[in-house]
Amino acid sequence: MSDSNPSRRRLLAGGLAAAASAAAGCLDGSVTGGPANGDDDDQVLALTLNDAGDTLRDDAVVDLSEAGPRWDEAAFAAARDGERDTTQHRKPFPSAADEPAYAVHEGTYYRLDSVVVDEAKATHPVLRLYGVNESDTGDEADAVEKETLPEGDRNAVEIAHKSARARGNPGGVPVGLVERGGYVYRDGDAIDASRLLAADGPARVVYRDTVYRIEVTRERFYEPVYRAVAEPVAESPERMEAILRAHTVGARIDGDDLSTDAREVIEAARHDGYEESHPYSDAYADILRAFHERPYLDGNVRKDGRWTESGSERIRYESRYYDYSLRFKSN
């Protein structure tokens, strides 16, 4: 393969050994951004490949007996039998955003989902913590140590502390844990066992060597009611794998269909990453076409490249899956 512009082929020259040397000696810029209106070598397009294994089922299909408390095995059983099982406030089958959840039972694979079928009103205790300053009245000796509290209270203090720590500071609080600036008690057993919620409960608590003032309110919530849905989709591991491929995998690439130089691009991307400036070598262009990333080739890359977004982010190469990313970097 010929190349009239060797300055843009930083990693192909001399194979993978030279690729590693070139990467160490020449490619130390890592500022993210779109191509500028300057020399071609001002920007490079970087490709990285991360191994995602030889099967998708291991990560995508849940064994509910090992899934943890956020998964509702009883809801799964009811949905399989066609019964109407509902949960309030929380979904029975949490999953990643925009990704369906799957589970297997006795050789049958199910797609799990939930639908909102009602709204429920509920009143829950809310624990908030506030830092103590010199103007606060009270005896710090009366503060209880977090470790001496029941388990439900310990969990509540840990989460409410995250909100107290964030007040007036950048960084925010963990979404899904902190609610209304504190911790919301929803578990009946934790409420019954709580010392912090008792009428004669402590006014202060010590956590991580800091004394906090305790505030407890009882507030009205309007919560969705979810009905679990379990739809059978496959009766074999191979069929389930095909479903997951159809849902998540873009390009399917056979190494025999690539040139030697193009295979070296993939090998470099699998290890330390690969990058070139525009216009790209024949090998890099072949890889971008094989990944169905033609916008990086067919558009005005130097002018409009900053608006180009990577399409599918998972490919199958030979017998393995890879998650990839493409991004422009300043040299």
| pLDDT tens digits, one per residue of 243-277 | 999 989 999 999 999 999 999 999 999 999 999 98
Where residue 302 falls among pLDDT bands split at 50, 70, 90?
A: low
Cα dihedral 21/22/26/28 (nearest 10): -70
SS (H, E, C) the chain: CCCCCHHHCCCCCCHHHHHHHHHHHHCCCCCECCCCCCCHHHEEEEEEEEEEECCCHHHHEECHHHCCCCCCHHHHHHHHCCCCCEEECCCCCCCCCCCCEEEEECCEEEEEEEEEEEEEEEEEEEEEEEECCCCCCCCHHHCEEHHHCCHHHHHHHHHHHHHHHHCCCCCCCCECCEECCEEECCCHHHHHHCCCCCCCCCCEEEECCEEEEEEEEEEEEEEEEEEEEEEEEECCHHHHHHHHHHHHCCCEECHHHCCHHHHHHHHHHHHCCEEEECCCCHHHHHHHHHCCCCHHHHCCHHHHHHHCCCCCCEEEECCEEEEEEEEEEEC
Q: Which of 45-59, 96-110, 228-242 has the least mean pLDDT?
A: 96-110
Given a cut of 80, whether residue 120 has pLDDT beyond it is: yes
pLDDT at 330: 77
Q: Which amino acid is at 271?
A: H
Given a cut of 60, whether residue 283 has pLDDT beyond it is: yes
pLDDT at 306: 57
Q: For residues 331 and 46, which has the higher predicted lDDT (pLDDT)?
A: 46
pLDDT at 172: 75
Question: Can you read off the two tokens belonging to residue 93?
Answer: 């089958």
Angle of helix 260-271 relative to helix 15-26, nearest 10 degrees, comes to: 50
Q: Which of 21-25, 139-143, 166-170, 199-203 has the least mean pLDDT?
A: 21-25
| Nearest by Cα to 283 from 20, 36, 47 | 47
pLDDT at 274: 95
Rg (CA), the chain: 28
| pLDDT tens digits, one per residue of 171-197 | 677 777 899 999 999 999 999 999 999
Mean pLDDT of 289-310: 72
Q: Given phi > 0 = left and psi -120 to 50 = alpha, else beta, which region is 16? A: alpha
Q: Which of 13-22, 225-234, 295-304 has the least mean pLDDT?
A: 13-22
Q: Which of 64-68, 224-228, 307-311 has the least mean pLDDT?
A: 307-311
* Exposed / middle / buried, residue 213 (Cβ in 10 Å: 0-12, 13-18, 19+): middle
Given a cut of 60, whether residue 119 has pLDDT beyond it is: yes
pLDDT at 68: 66
Where residue 167 falls among pLDDT bands split at 50, 70, 90?
A: confident
Question: Can you read off the two tokens belonging to residue 276?
Answer: 């070139």
User: pTM higher than 0.95, yes or no?
Assistant: no
Where residue 29 falls among pLDDT bands split at 50, 70, 90?
A: very low
Distances in Å between the Cα of 84 and the Cα atoms of 62, 87, 92, 188 are 21, 10, 12, 23
| pLDDT tens digits, one per residue of 35-74 | 444 444 567 899 999 999 999 998 889 876 676 666 788 8
Given a cut of 60, whether residue 310 has pLDDT beyond it is: no
pLDDT at 171: 66
What are the structural domain ranges in the chain? 6-54+249-330, 60-235
Where residue 311 falls among pLDDT bands split at 50, 70, 90?
A: low
Given a cut of 50, whether residue 3 has pLDDT beyond it is: no
Return mean pLDDT, the chain: 82
Is the distance from CB of 266 to CB of 49 less than 8 angstroms? yes
Where residue 138 falls among pLDDT bands split at 50, 70, 90?
A: low
CA distance 35 to 53: 33
User: According to the per-residue pLDDT averaged within each range, which of 36-50, 69-83, 115-129 is highest?
Assistant: 115-129
| pLDDT tens digits, one per residue of 194-211 | 999 999 999 999 999 899
Angle of helix 260-271 relative to helix 282-290, nearest 10 degrees, comes to: 70
Q: Which amino acid is at 314?
A: R
pLDDT at 71: 74
Given a cut of 60, whether residue 132 has pLDDT beyond it is: yes
CA distance 275 to 185: 51
Given a cut of 90, whether residue 17 has pLDDT beyond it is: no
